[in-house]
Amino acid sequence: MTNETFILLSDEEKNKKLRIILKNKSNNCLTNSEINIIMSYISLNKQYTIRIYMDPIQFLSAISISDNKESRTLLGSAIAGTPELSTSMFIKQNTAVILTRSEHDGDVMHYIHIYIPESQI
């Protein structure tokens, strides 16, 4: 679905679509509780890139390059932009979700980084 089409949907339809997208992108590995937490923090008026990680090192690498002033940890104990602290606090047995925001050439990009532990796959 294109962003132009998504914008025309009601908030209820947007909410439903995003929930389906989160379930599908995570191969149905996210619990309803985890999806509810994510949905409570994201704006239905922003476009997000959803990145799923099943490897803890890839997840930590991706969030370590993010600016921690432009991020929010929703689940787990990782902190974007602080590799040493994030690595020492990170528990790879737990799901982790971090929202980040970055700017590239004046364009603002919003990301949802989701780490799914092997035990939940």
Contact between 99 and 8 (Cβ < 8 Å)? no
| pLDDT tens digit at each of 121 positions of the chain | 457 787 888 889 999 999 999 999 999 999 999 999 999 999 988 889 999 999 998 998 888 876 656 888 899 887 777 766 667 778 888 999 999 988 878 888 899 999 999 888 7
Spans of all domains in the chain: 3-120
Contact between 16 and 81 (Cβ < 8 Å)? no
Contacts of 104 (CB under 8 A, 6+ apart): none
